[in-house]
């Protein structure tokens, strides 16, 4: 039986976190390695986008963790624990963390990425007004910028279309000005409508 068939059977063809039945895909729980055994779960697009920090956390969506945290499946437990820790400022999530028990190996796995140490808001790319930025958005410069290593001076009010998110740094985006790709600090842009 293939991995997808095993996951469909195990999950009853629904998201193993929230029980949604549409837009399901395999999620490989990081980090991968022999010590973690089967590290795959079957989840919906909503869970996936929020897990991978492509979308802002919707706290009401994650109330599903009240059930999924009790799963017998180790990777589901690990992801549930990580998400509860990302939501630990919510009273209900903090209460669930206190109730949850993980075997030592699974707890070590859950902590291995360090995801539980940081707030979700810290990892999101936001413009100068706090608006969430995504790849493909257009932004307007709110300050004139000299581009290092070139003669380009990007004037205030310049629109930069089709930006790319710099995944390693939530304070940086990539865009093209006068045909040249540059890195721009998010604090100097405003999302265009």
Q: Between 102 and 168, where is the model more confident?
A: 102
Confidence of residue 29 (pLDDT cuts 50, 70, 90): very high
The alpha carbon of 128 is separated from its chain's Cα centroid by a whole number of angstroms, namely 20
User: Residue 178 is part of a domain; what is its CATH number?
Assistant: 2.30.30.40
Q: Between 185 and 193, where is the model more confident?
A: 185
Domain boundary among 123, 151, 171: 123
The DSSP line for 43-99 is EEHHHHHHHTTSS---TTGGGGHHHHTT-S-HHHHHHHHHHHHHTTTSHHHHHHHHH
Query: Which residues have CB under 8 Å from 94's CB, separation 6+?
Result: 88
Say whether pLDDT at 131 is over 90.
Answer: no
* Residue 186 in domain: yes
Q: Decide: helix, strand or coil at residue 27.
A: strand
Q: What is the DSSP letter of 32?
A: P
Out of 18-32, 63-77, 102-116, 117-131, least confident range? 117-131
- Residue-level pLDDT at 191: 92
Q: Are residues 114 and 167 in the same domain?
A: no
* Residue 81 in domain: yes
Confidence of residue 111 (pLDDT cuts 50, 70, 90): very high
Q: Are 174 and 134 in contact (CB under 8 A)?
A: no
Q: Are residues 85 and 34 in the same domain?
A: yes
- Residue-level pLDDT at 34: 54
Range of the domain at 156: 139-191
Please state the domain count of the chain.
2
Q: Are residues 74 and 106 in the same domain?
A: yes
* Residue 68 in domain: yes
Q: Kindly report the pTM of this predicted structure.
A: 0.64
Q: Show the CA angle centred on residue 177, arms to residues 141 and 127, nearest 5°.
A: 30
Terminal alpha carbon distance of the chain: 48
């Amino acid at each position: 039986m293939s991995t997808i068939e095993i996951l469909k059977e195990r999950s009853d063809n629904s998201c193993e976190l929230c029980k949604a039945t549409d837009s399901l895909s395999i999620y490989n729980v990081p980090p991968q390695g022999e010590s973690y055994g089967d590290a795959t779960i079957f989840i919906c697009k909503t869970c996936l986008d929020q897990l991978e920090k492509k979308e802002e956390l919707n706290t009401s969506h994650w109330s599903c963790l009240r059930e999924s945290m009790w799963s017998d499946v180790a990777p589901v437990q690990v992801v549930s624990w990580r998400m509860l820790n990302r939501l630990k400022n919510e009273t209900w999530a903090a209460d669930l963390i206190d109730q949850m028990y993980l075997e030592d190996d699974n707890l070590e796995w859950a902590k291995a990425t360090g995801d539980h140490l940081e707030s979700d808001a810290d990892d999101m790319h936001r413009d100068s007004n706090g608006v969430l930025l995504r790849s493909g958005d257009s932004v307007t410069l709110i300050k004139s910028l000299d581009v290092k290593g070139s003669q380009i001076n990007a004037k205030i009010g310049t629109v930069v279309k089709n930006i790319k998110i710099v995944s390693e740094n939530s304070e940086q985006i990539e865009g093209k000005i006068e045909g040249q790709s540059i890195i721009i600090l998010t604090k100097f842009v405003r999302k265009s409508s």
